[in-house]
Structures are given as C-alpha cells and as structure tokens.
Amino acid sequence: MSKLFSLAGRVALITGGNSGIGRELAFAFRDAGAQVAIGARRAQRNAEVVAALGGDASGYELDVTDEASVERAVAGVLARYGRLDILVNNAGTVNRVSVMELERSAWDRVMNTNLTGPFLCTKHAARVMKKQGSGKIVNVSSVLGLIAPSMGLQVPYTVSKHGVIALTKVNAVELAPLGIQVNAVAPGYFLTEMTAELSGSRIEQAIKRRTPDGRIGDTADLVGTCLYLASSASDHVTGQCIAVDGGYLVSDGLDRG
C-alpha cells in the first residue's frame, strides 16, 4: 500500500514553492521520496527553502507569466534530473477591489499569474511528460473557483480560479491518452502570507462559523490530497477538483453562531 503513495524516483516542480502552500508541499513531497524543484520569483527566498530542503533540491527564478522564464525553468529541471514527473501549479496572487474601481492592469496581473501561468507551465511540462509516457499535474484552484465571495470584490481572483478548474478539465481530456493525469485542489480559507490580513478579523470569524469543522485551514491539511494526486494512487483519476475546505462548500451558508 505504501508504494501507491510513494514519490520515490520522481521529480516534482512546484511553482510558488518558496512560501505558503507551495513550501508545505515541497517538504511533503521530499519526505515522500521525490526530488523537488521549486520555482518562484524571489531568488533569495528560493535559496533559503532549497537549503532547508537539502539533498538534491533545486530552485529556479521563475515568473509564471513569462513564457521564456517557464521554458528556462522546465529546461533546468530536465537538465538537472533528466525527467519531470510532477508539476504543481501553485503560484498565485489576489486583490480585493470593487469591479467599479478595478484597474485593467490589476485585472491582468491576477489573471496572468493565476490562469495564464498554469497554462504556460502545463504547456512546457506536458511536452516533457509526453516523451516519458507519464506525468501528474496538480492545479491549485480555490473554493472561489466554485462559488463567489459573499461580498464580491475579488473579481479577477474568482474568475481566474474558476478558469483553473476549466483548464484542468480540458487538459485532462487531451493528456490522458499520453499517460498524464491533470487534477485540481480547491483549498478553502487558509492563513498564509496572501491571506494574513484575515487573521483575527470579523471575516475570519464568519468563515469559522460557516465551516462545519469550525476552523481555518492549515497548509498541512492539503498534503494528503496533493500527495494522492501526485502519486500512483490516482492513476485512474483525472479532470477532478477536490475541495479541501472543512466542509465550507457543503454548508448552506447560514450563520452558525
């Protein structure tokens, strides 16, 4: 049974891998036996995480919105390890602005990072995986890829995360005959650098009341699901989106206070 979930002998590239969910998954995949490469924009932060990972871990200065940068990172992974078995499209960003005030540049920044980025990374990683005859792609969406926030405001984030689920489905259909599975996870509310302002806020309390298990998620809560989707345990699973949200989405939304 343990072989089903082992990543021994596999190479994983995790975008946005120097903080938050990406960092958590980098250490988890390492512990499961993978050789881990992280890709993110902050070179110094990358170096710190690579040093902490130890072993044969590596880091790449990666801007997922820049196709040349994506190509360099994938080529670097291939040159170092000779293969690429797992891609986690985790890099993301957010803004919270009314649609009436949202600047086009802000829209483009979020959409380019959250949706165009996974497209570009999948494009170049899948080319490598096709030659191998196998691969796993895990896209990080959000519960806001399935519903809308109660106050609106997170316009490009919500649209982009819906798009990530569509990207997952269409790529799953195309790539399945090549031995590549493409799935997504939809995290609920997690306290990370990107959501730090929620800590102690009225919104955090409202989220906890709606969530049946009564708490905000910890990045470690995503490890089991992502490990499943990255391992042989999910070889006949593709095109799916698994919510990791403490029951947030299945609640009717009425105040539980």
Which long-range contacts does 122-127 make (Cβ < 8 Å, 24+ apart)?
A: 122/87, 122/89, 122/167, 122/171, 122/182, 123/70, 124/70, 124/71, 124/74, 125/13, 125/74, 125/84, 125/87, 126/171, 126/175, 126/178, 126/180
Give the residue among 69, 179, 154 at the shortest CA–CA distance from 117. Answer: 69
157 is catalytic: yes
Catalytic one of 60, 157, 189, 228: 157
For 75, left (φ over 0), alpha (ψ -120 to 50), or beta?
A: alpha
Give the strand pairing for 180-187 and 86-89. Answer: unpaired
Active-site residues, by number, are 157
